[in-house]
Amino acid sequence: MSSDTFPTTTFTLLGLLVVLPVVAWSNRRDRIGRGPSSIRLLFAAYVVVLIGLLFTPFPLPPWTRLPAANLDGYRPWPFPWVNIVPFETIGVALRFGLDGQQGRVLVGNVLAFVPFGVFLPIIWPRWRSLPAVVGAGLAISLALETVQLGLSVLVGAPYRVADVDDIIINVLGVALGYGLYRLVSLLLPRDPTVQPAS
């Protein structure tokens, strides 16, 4: 595998420079108000940062598949590219707590998906129920883990592990975000609704 990588900071900056002007143009075209426009821009920035954190730093070609001998410490297929045992990673993280890297990563993964649960029902009012938001979170998480698996197989090394526990944690974060949205919407005089996205 190549030792050169495409860094997270570069990806994030380039992504923001490309995506935010497109979203701003779309808001102007659709005559979206200042408040809803700002929320859409924040959501777009969040998505760019999230993708950057999930997929970078990314190893640049040429890729050299790791020899089987280098994977001796791992379990057989589908490991090390996939963890299909529910709560295995979560259990390890809970045992270490916040003092260990696993525990901090666990909390970070939950927090990373909280904004998704907040933004989704604000920007798209048809996604206002908990089942709809959780279902969307589940679909997005499955897609992200599948892409991580595909990229690892492409690179020839498990640079990212597709983990069923990541899906569980991501969906938990989305559900917490939805709960936060509902709490705020109850405290505000009216629902913080953004004009439905086209």
Residue 57 belongs to what domain range? Answer: 5-187
Residue 117 belongs to a domain: yes
Residues whose CB falls within 8 Å of the CB of residue 45, separated by 6 or more in sequence, listed in order = 16, 19, 20
Residue 13 belongs to a domain: yes
Residue 192 belongs to a domain: no
Residue 10 belongs to a domain: yes
Q: Which two tokens stand for residue 174?
A: 């989305």
The CA-based angle 167-83-137, given to 5 degrees, is 10
- Determine the 3-state secondary structure of 76 from DSSP: coil
Count how many Cα atoms sit within 13 Å of the Cα of residue 77 in the half-sphere of its side chain.
4
Residue 151 belongs to a domain: yes
Alpha-carbon span 96 to 139, nearest angstrom: 29
- When divided into structural domains, the chain yields a total of 1
Alpha-carbon span 147 to 20, nearest angstrom: 24
Residue 198 belongs to a domain: no
- Each residue's pLDDT, cut to its tens digit, for the chain (198 residues) gives 445 888 999 999 999 999 999 999 999 999 999 999 999 999 999 999 999 999 999 888 887 776 665 566 565 555 667 888 899 999 999 998 888 888 999 999 999 999 999 999 999 988 889 999 999 999 999 999 999 988 888 888 777 889 999 999 999 999 999 999 999 988 876 544 445 554
* pTM of the complete model: 0.86
Helices and strands (H, E) in the chain, number of each type? 6, 4
Residue 120 belongs to a domain: yes
Residue 136 belongs to a domain: yes
